[in-house]
A and B are shown apart, each in its own frame.
Chain A
């Protein structure tokens, strides 16, 4: 049994405040909006002023899909407690060429393979899943249940929150028959030809002989015909969760003294190192989040030159992140997240480790120059996020530092 889970109002869950959200492009066009606003007439593609007039209490923010991507990944991870086979379809809300993004306004979709279950057991599991998503992410979801992915994806369109739609095994073809042909993943040419033939429902397409469809439309046609007859054989892919390590420190009162924060961060660096060492892991990305007493959240992250589990290095990186945050209010909570976890690769220790040069002879030169002139003028280049939209985040040019012994 495969469950197709649709979260129609995923955008509201991305909102930093509990208000409806309008995401606009820099040209002042609505790119996405909370579902509640859609009921008030807000549409993707309308001008911001018009949308704002329809719903003045909504928060207007520039469009960015990063919080969305982070959220859908977290939701997919949380679904892993029900099954190891959780699929987050790619190509959904993904950025197109350059920063121009196309938004699918219908929200986020996940597929979960529940294995062999009876009707009542499946319904019970779906109920638990919906409850978990509502409690954790405050988002209602609709669920379609069927024996394969395509039928489940069509079933979810008829589902309501708290009322999943189940298509029983053996009845897939009959269920699909009355739906529009446009629900099949048709390319333009096949779509045009099917419409010319007067085929408008999945049922009409399914009644065509399989051989004739193959002769007319080739391999793609055969695949579509299988979907139409309710025989989707595509499996739900297994999700391997990204390992992350979280560390949180909540203070009794708001901390404004920088020195206290510094010592807290150094301590957290050591604790994080200890946890990573216990699991024989290293991290290459640190994210620091502050919750302040004026109800704001400040967040920053840093990619390390090399994966490490060294307490002092982690502590020092956290101190640098602290400098970046420029926090003016009192801090009530500090959260540290270590990402990109990996098992350490053994290597020979050398003098200059954090931004070392692989060329041994240049390392010798580096040593000589550092001894004579200090290391303020010596820089190395590290590839950070070569696909980042903002060019300054693609590479890091930083002063070379001495390794902490």
Chain B
């Protein structure tokens, strides 16, 4: 990882019927980036006794050659990028 957004950087994601990301767009790297591979996925559900943070994480590789760790906030359904490997 070389770029890190502690609170996540907003991202537009098109997901398939199972909710897995298919392609993404964000203003850091203009254009639509199709996802070539989901290399890893995991979920985090934490801090429910303070401020619940429930996220589905995906480590994705785009066809344009970028590796990112993105997550979907389960509560709001919004997508964010948290890491970009560089």
Contact = CB atoms under 8 A, between A and B. Distances in A.
Asked if chains A and B are in direct contact (CB within 8 A), the reply is yes
Range, interface on chain A: 20 to 34
A25 B4 CA distance: 27
A389 B46 contact: yes
A387 B38 CA distance: 24
Contact of A16 (B42, B49, B54): B49
A62 B54 contact: yes
A25 B48 CA distance: 12
A389 B82 CA distance: 13
A392 B83 CA distance: 11
A390 B44 contact: yes
30 contacts: A16-B49, A25-B45, A26-B43, A26-B45, A26-B54, A26-B74, A27-B43, A62-B48, A62-B54, A64-B45, A64-B46, A64-B48, A64-B49, A67-B49, A99-B42, A99-B44, A99-B45, A99-B46, A100-B42, A298-B50, A299-B49, A300-B50, A389-B44, A389-B46, A390-B46, A390-B47, A390-B53, A391-B6, A391-B82, A397-B6
Interface string A286-301: 0000000000001110
B7 interface: yes
A372 interface: no
A217 interface: no
Interface of A: 16, 25-27, 61-64, 66-67, 98-100, 298-300, 389-392, 397
Contacts, number: 47
Nearest to A14: B49
A67 B52 CA distance: 14
Contacts of B50: 298-300
Contact of B45 (A62, A299, A392): A62
Q: Which 4 A-B pairs have the closest CB atoms?
A: A392-B6, A62-B45, A26-B43, A98-B42
Contacts of A100: 42
A350 B44 CA distance: 41
Nearest to A16: B49
Contacts of A98: 42
A391 B1 CA distance: 12
Contacts of B52: 62
Nearest to B1: A391
Contacts of A300: 50
Contacts of A391: 4, 6, 82-83
A16 B48 CA distance: 11
A16 B49 CA distance: 9
Nearest to B41: A98
A7 B42 CA distance: 31
B68 to A, nearest CB: 13
B43 A99 contact: yes
A25 B45 CA distance: 8
A390 B49 CA distance: 15
